[in-house]
Chain A
C-alpha cells in the first residue's frame, strides 16, 4: 500500500510521522498529518484525536495532509480507527484533505465492510460448558465408532455374499504394502526382542541352574505374546497411520464425498480392502515374527551362553504347542483388525484441513496401540480363566 512512485527498496530513511490536532472555529476538528507514515517506524497513537473528539463539541473531523510524506498501511490503520471513532461519537468524517489513494482505500474498506459477519463459532465457553462439550464429544465419538464398526460388519457380510463394491486389485496392492514391504522392520524388531528375552531370561534362570529352559521361555513368550504384540504395534505405527493419512487426505480433497455421490460406499470400496489385507497378512507376519524372534533367542543362547544348538531346537519344538501357536496367530489377526479399523475410522472421520489429517494420524496410532494392549490384556485374563 505504497504511495505512488515509492519503492520499498529506496534507501533514504523515513522522517518521523507527526500528528497535530487543532480545533477550528466552525465546530470541526482538523488533524494535520506530516512526515512518513510507514509500518514499523513508530506512528502517533490515536489518543490525542480521541480525547479531543470525546471532550470537545466537534461535529466534524477533517484532515490536512499537505506535509504528508510517504505512507502505507500504517496510515490506513490510523484512518480506519479514526472512522470507527467518528462513528462511535456520532461525528462526521471528511476525507477531502487526504491523498486521493488513501481516501479511496478508506472508502473501499468502509463500504465493503457493510456485509456483517455471522457470529463466529469460537465463542468463549465456561468451564462447565467445556466439560460438558468434551463429554458429549466423547459420547458422539464412541457412537460414531460403533456406527462405523456396524457398517464394516455389514460390508463384510456383503463381501461374503459377493455383493460388495470391492476390488481385489486394491486389496492386493494394500497387501503388498502391509505384508512384504513390512518384513524388514518386523524382522529387525522381533529379532531384537528374541535376543533380549533370551538374554534376560537366561541370566535369571542361571541362578537356579536352569539355563536350558531359556529356549522354552523364548519360544512360549514369543509365540504366545511378543511376536503378535510387537507386530501389531509396528503395523499400527506403520500401516494404521498410513491408512489414516491416506483416507484423511481423500476426505480433505472431497474424494470420499465423490464416492458417496457416485453411490459407491466408501466403507466397502476403501475400508474393506484395507481390512481384508490386514486380516490376510497379519497371521503370516506373526508366524514370520515368531520364527525370527526364536532365531534371535537361538543366536544369543548358542553363541554367548553355551547352550548346544540341537538341545535348543529340541526344547523349542517341545515347548511350542499347537494351542499357543494358534492363540498367537489369532491374537495377531485381531490386532490387525483393530489397526485397520482405527486407522480407517480416523481417516474417514477426518476434518477438512491439513491440521486435521495430522490429528487423524496421531489419534489413529494412539487409539490403535491402546486397543491392541487392552485387548491383549483381555486375552490374558480369558486364557488364564480357561486354562489355555
Chain B
C-alpha cells in the first residue's frame, strides 16, 4: 500500500455503554510499522477502545479506518476479511484451555488457510520458537507459567502473519525481567515483520521502552488528554494529569483534582 493512508486512523470515536459514555472524541493516526501505546489509569476505557479497534464493540459515533478503508462502515464480510490481518493478544493470553499450545495456533491456521496438517505443525512450531517456546508444543496452557502462556498467546496472535498486532496489557502480571524480555520481543518482531503494533498498557517501563507514540486517556474527563512520543510528552506537557502519570505521581500530583485521582490509581493499582 502506498503511504498515502495511515495504517490506522481513529476518527472522532465515541464509545458508550447504553447512555454511559466511556470515551468521546478519540482521534489518532497510526503510521505503518509504529508501536502505538494506549495508556491511562485503571478504568479509563483503554480496553474498551481496543475492543472497538478489533471489532468486538461498535463505536457509538465516529469511525475506525484501516489503510483508509472504513472498518465499521463496511459490511460484516469485509470486516471479517480485515480481522484476518489482525493478531490479538488478550490480557491473560486467553489460550483455549482444552488444546495444547500447538493446537491453539494450528486451529487458526486450519480455519483460514489450506495448509496440510504437517505444514500447520511446522508453522505452529516456528511461531512458538519465535517467542522462545520451542519444545512446548504439546503442553496444555494449564501446564505452563503465566509468562509462558502470555508468550504463547503472542505466538497465536502471530499465526496468520498479521499486519497489525493488538496487545492488551502484555506485561501485566509478569515479573520485571519477563516483562522486559517481552518488550524486546515486541520490538524485534516489529523490526523483522514490519507489522504495526497497538499496545494497551499502563506499565511505565514498557511505555518508555517500546512506544513510538502514545495516547493518554483520562478516566475523569472521559477523553484523550495527550498524544505524542512518551519522552517528548514528559518533557513538554503542561498537563498535570499526564505528567503525574508519566512520573508515577512524583510531580504535579497536588496540582489538580484529576491528576491526583490518576496518581492515586497508580499507587493503589
Residues of A with Cβ closer than 8 Å to B? 1-5, 7-10, 39-40, 72-73, 76-77, 80-81, 100-102, 104-105, 108-110, 112-113, 115-117, 120-122, 351-355
Check if B1 is an interface residue, CB within 8 A of chain A: yes
Segment of B13-21, B112-120, B220-228, B255-263 engaged in the interface with chain A: B112-120
Q: Say whether, besides A117-B135, A120-B139, A353-B97, A1 and B129 are in contact (CB < 8 Å).
A: no
Q: Are B142 and A104 in contact (CB under 8 A)?
A: no
* B182 CB → nearest A CB, Å: 12
Assembly CA distance A235 to B103 (angstroms) = 37
Q: Are B84 and A8 in contact (CB under 8 A)?
A: yes
* A17 CB → nearest B CB, Å: 13
A113 surroundings in chain B (CB, below 8 A): 129, 132, 134-135
Q: Are B194 and A2 in contact (CB under 8 A)?
A: yes
B163 surroundings in chain A (CB, below 8 A): 2, 7-8
Assembly CA distance A113 to B134 (angstroms) = 5
Per-residue 0/1 for B72-113: is the Cβ within 8 Å of any A Cβ (1 yes, 0 no)? 000000000100110000000000111000000000000001
B32 surroundings in chain A (CB, below 8 A): 5
Contact partner of B130 among A109, A122, A351, CB < 8 A? A109
Total A-B contacts with CB atoms under 8 angstroms apart: 107
Q: Are A105 and B119 in contact (CB under 8 A)?
A: no
B61 surroundings in chain A (CB, below 8 A): none
A81 surroundings in chain B (CB, below 8 A): 122
Check if B195 is an interface residue, CB within 8 A of chain A: yes
B129 surroundings in chain A (CB, below 8 A): 80, 109-110, 112-113
Q: Are A108 and B141 in contact (CB under 8 A)?
A: no
Contact partner of A40 among B96, B115, B138, B188, CB < 8 A? B115
Assembly CA distance A187 to B32 (angstroms) = 65
> Which of A9, A115, A355 has the most CB atoms of chain B within a 10 A radius of its CB?
A9
Q: Say whether, besides A39-B123, A105-B130, A353-B142, A5 and B188 are in contact (CB < 8 Å).
A: no
Q: Are B134 and A112 in contact (CB under 8 A)?
A: yes
A112 surroundings in chain B (CB, below 8 A): 129-134
Check if B254 is an interface residue, CB within 8 A of chain A: no
Tell me whether chain A's interface is mostly helix, strand or loop, or mixed: loop
Tell me whether chain B's interface is mostly helix, strand or loop, or mixed: loop
Contact partner of B113 among A39, A102, A117, CB < 8 A? A39
Assembly CA distance A136 to B158 (angstroms) = 42
11 A-B residue pairs with Cβ-Cβ distance under 8 Å, sorted by A, are A3-B194, A8-B163, A10-B1, A39-B161, A40-B113, A76-B126, A102-B192, A104-B188, A104-B192, A108-B188, A112-B131
A2 surroundings in chain B (CB, below 8 A): 161, 163, 193-195
Check if B239 is an interface residue, CB within 8 A of chain A: no
Q: Are B132 and A115 in contact (CB under 8 A)?
A: yes
Check if B208 is an interface residue, CB within 8 A of chain A: no
Per-residue 0/1 for B193-219: is the Cβ within 8 Å of any A Cβ (1 yes, 0 no)? 111000000000000000000000000
Assembly CA distance A120 to B97 (angstroms) = 16
Q: Say whether, besides A40-B115, A77-B126, A113-B129, A4 and B97 are in contact (CB < 8 Å).
A: no
B189 surroundings in chain A (CB, below 8 A): 105, 108
Assembly CA distance A40 to B67 (angstroms) = 25
Q: Say whether, besides A105-B192, A121-B143, A354 and B97 are in contact (CB < 8 Å).
A: yes
Q: Are A9 and B123 in contact (CB under 8 A)?
A: no
A5 surroundings in chain B (CB, below 8 A): 1, 32, 194
A77 surroundings in chain B (CB, below 8 A): 119, 122-123, 126
Assembly CA distance A10 to B32 (angstroms) = 16
Assembly CA distance A351 to B98 (angstroms) = 11
* A127 CB → nearest B CB, Å: 21
Identify the closest chain A residue to B7 (Cβ).
A7
Q: Are B193 and A352 in contact (CB under 8 A)?
A: no
Assembly CA distance A117 to B131 (angstroms) = 13
B136 surroundings in chain A (CB, below 8 A): 117
Q: Say whether, besides A104-B188, A353-B98, A4 and B194 are in contact (CB < 8 Å).
A: yes
For the complex with contacts A40-B115, A100-B192, A112-B133, 13 further pairs of A-B residues with Cβ separation under 8 Å are A1-B158, A72-B161, A77-B122, A105-B189, A109-B130, A109-B134, A113-B134, A117-B135, A120-B138, A120-B139, A121-B143, A352-B142, A354-B96
